[in-house]
A and B are shown apart, each in its own frame.
Chain A
Amino acid sequence: MGLIEVDAVSKAFWIPNERRDTVREHFLGLLRPRRFDRLQALDAVSFTLRQGETLGVMGRNGSGKSTLLKIVCGVYAPDAGKVIVRGAVTPILELGVGWNPELDAVDNILLIGSVMGLSLGELRRDMEEILAFAELERFANLKLKHYSTGMSARLGYAVAFKAVRDVLVLDEIFAVGDAGFRKRCEERYWQLHAQGHTVIVVSHDPRTIAGFCDRALLLDGGRIVMEDTGVAVADRYVSLLTSGS
């Protein structure tokens, strides 16, 4: 029995030839039926992830990596198949977590930390540590709308690394911050790994997958085309890119 079991998961998006986002557009278009193209983002994807494993996911743009992560995290619902998650998932999707730009860092940490399953007591206790990890102590009371992209991303990683309970999901790991911050992220990652936490990492960087992942999947066209060690999958991904096939 795995910590995460993904069983024949499929997901498709229907792309209309004309977007209609309003009541007015739908009303005016009553006599002009739309054509929909089916985009199969995931096609019968299955894998199992055990406690303490690190799984890498590689694939070209549009191969279904982000959709797969969002389904595992419970953000998207699959069209078919089943995902069983026996634990709490802490995600950092698309290089960050969700922020309210009108609130300062402290309130945003309390908000996103609560969503990630931390109590207010834990968050208040760890507040200084989170801000210190992100090197943002001086900007704790600055609204997020005044933060740079890098500052927001650092804060997201700091909260997520603190909130991890069972599974950490990272979309493009260590892609933010300067060398010092990336080093701290790597240290924290190995610390979580040593504690037995389970991690899913999506990356385009073969060195990341080869260096951090016990096992990896290679996605192409929404299907798993290879499942092997991180090193083997990273090599295959590079050859896939260089061959252009």
Chain B
Amino acid sequence: MTNASAGTELGSPLPAPAVAEARRARRAASRTVVRAGLVWTLVRTDFKARYHGTFGGFVWALLKPLSMFVVLMAVFSFLFASNPTYKLDLIVGLFLWDFFAEATRTGLTSLHAKGFLLTKARCPSWILVVTSIANAAITLVVFCAIITVFLAGAGHAPSLAALGAFAAYCLALVAIVVGFSLASSVLFLRYRDLNQVWDVVVQAGFFLAPVIYPLGILPERFHVYLFLWPPTPIIEFSRAALVAGTIATRTAHFYLALDAAVCLLAGIVIFRRFAPRAAEYV
């Protein structure tokens, strides 16, 4: 029943002498400043609500993948004793995976969690989704610093080119996560067990992506399928750049960029399709 002309438009404000004083007072607060304030407040309050506003709370968030790393390294370093860079590969894979899993889980439920803002005012819903992954992104940035120090300590100090490539891979991962979050956040409002479905996928995906094992142990004919799982190329290319010091080919980069662009665009298309009615499903 949707009419093509249906919609709410914000036109240019009328000249209003009676409220001119109020307008002048607000003039300094441009739309951009207000939006920036909203983004900052969302990120800050998310951080505060999640970590109780303490540094200790944030350290606790870092301990989760760190403890996982210690346990997995203790067990699997025996299994892959012939691989001298196993622990370096493991830490790179684990931290990237942790960001992917954490950010997609939070992004999926972001609109539902911020429903109190959607139903009571006109709120740019895409900002709610994108800012929801900020906490995981902050953790990723801290992990990047830890990884660099860890690699340098292990005698594999990455070159500037390798760090640049790694930064580009992280950006591609963020684009993939944002695309997934945009799509899944609006779908979650209609399918409330989507988070449970995603939990199962993430659990299986942890073993599908070469996080705890080197990709080389699997027959090469399966590699192409594993690379269809978005975290796989990110983890493999990052390991190659940071640990082995080799940069993936241009073709490989092209496919990664295409992968990220398709995920992001698909997310935007699905979001634009369902977001206008999101408040009705909160």
Contact = CB atoms under 8 A, between A and B. Distances in A.
Query: Do chains A and B interact in one complex?
Result: yes
Contacts of B42: 111
B121 A23 contact: no
B100 to A, nearest CB: 22
Contact of B9 (A83, A88, A89, A166): A83
A23 B194 contact: yes
A94 B192 CA distance: 25
A94 B44 CA distance: 27
A131 B38 CA distance: 20
A208 B2 CA distance: 35
B40 interface: yes
A51 B14 contact: yes
A112 B117 contact: yes
A81 to B, nearest CB: 6
Given A98-B116, A112-B117, A77 B38 contact: no
Nearest to B40: A120
A72 B10 CA distance: 11
B276 interface: yes
Interface in B154-171: none
B19 interface: yes
B279 A81 contact: no
- Most chain A C-beta atoms within 10 Å of own C-beta, residue among B17, B33, B120, B123: B120
B64 interface: no
Interface in A112-128: 112, 114-123
Interface stretch (B23-31, B133-141, B220-228): B23-31
A74 B18 contact: no
A210 B29 CA distance: 36
Nearest to A196: B18
B49 interface: yes
Contacts of A98: 115-121
B191 to A, nearest CB: 5
Contacts of B44: 107
A75 B197 CA distance: 29
Nearest to B281: A21
B81 to A, nearest CB: 43
Interface string B2-15: 11011111111110
Interface string B231-266: 000000000000000000000000000000000000
Contacts of A115: 38, 117, 121, 123
Contacts of A91: 120-122
Interface in B36-73: 37-38, 40-42, 44-45, 48-49
Contacts of B13: 86-88, 166
B190 interface: yes
A100 interface: yes
A125 to B, nearest CB: 10
Given A76-B279, A77-B277, A119-B37, A165 B26 contact: yes
Interface in A59-91: 70-89, 91
A110 interface: yes
A75 B122 contact: yes
B29 A78 contact: no
A79 B37 contact: no
A100 B14 contact: no
A21 to B, nearest CB: 5
A87 B122 CA distance: 13
Contacts of A114: 34, 37-38, 41
B16 interface: yes
B29 A118 contact: yes
Interface of A: 1, 3, 10, 12-13, 21-24, 26, 51-52, 70-89, 91, 93-94, 96-100, 102-103, 107, 110-112, 114-123, 164-166, 195-197
Interface of B: 1-3, 5-14, 16-19, 21-23, 26, 28-29, 33-34, 37-38, 40-42, 44-45, 48-49, 115-123, 190-194, 197, 276-277, 279-280
15 contacts: A23-B194, A24-B193, A52-B16, A80-B5, A88-B13, A89-B122, A93-B119, A98-B116, A107-B44, A119-B29, A122-B29, A165-B23, A165-B26, A166-B16, A166-B19
**Interface pairs A-B: 4 shortest CB-CB:** A196-B18, A98-B116, A74-B122, A119-B29
